[in-house]
Amino acid sequence: MGLLRRAARRILNTVLDNAPHVPAGPPTQGAVPPKPAVKGPDMSNIECGPQELKERLDAGEQVTVLDVREPQETSGGIIPGAVVIPLGQLEQRWTEVKDANEVVVYCALGARSLQAAGFLREQGVFNATSMDGGIVGWTDIGGTTVPQGD
């Protein structure tokens, strides 16, 4: 047992000897204060699932659905009632959805919509979320699409 204790003590001393020294107590005069954390938009709850969105729309909730796919992608159909603003135009056109009670953004699979929801939150649209899985997830759960303009 003594041999194990000596080995453990040597290992502990080696670790402690190699650890950086952190002085105790308040910082001394002239110390650089820590930089304040940069506060960006809250990105919690930035995603919702297609089933959740479908249930909310079926229940008649007022949700603005935003499609950020390109025109060649939307020709196959959009979620009924969706506002279509391609991601490349969102920076110029985001004010079209700024007053919506809630905005759920979708694309083909979910990557661009996550980017778009983050951008909208940076602009102050704090109720913007991204639909995980995009239009593919929507149709997989039985969501319907309509031709754009209907």
Point out the residues that are catalytic.
107
């979708």: which residue's tokens? 106
- C-alpha 143/C-alpha 138 separation (Å) is 5
- C-alpha 93/C-alpha 82 separation (Å) is 15
DSSP characters for 8-77?
A: HHHHHHHHHHHSPP---SSPPTTPPPPPPPP-----TT-EE-HHHHHHHHHTT---EEEE---HHHHTT-
Neighbours of 82 (CB within 10 A): 22
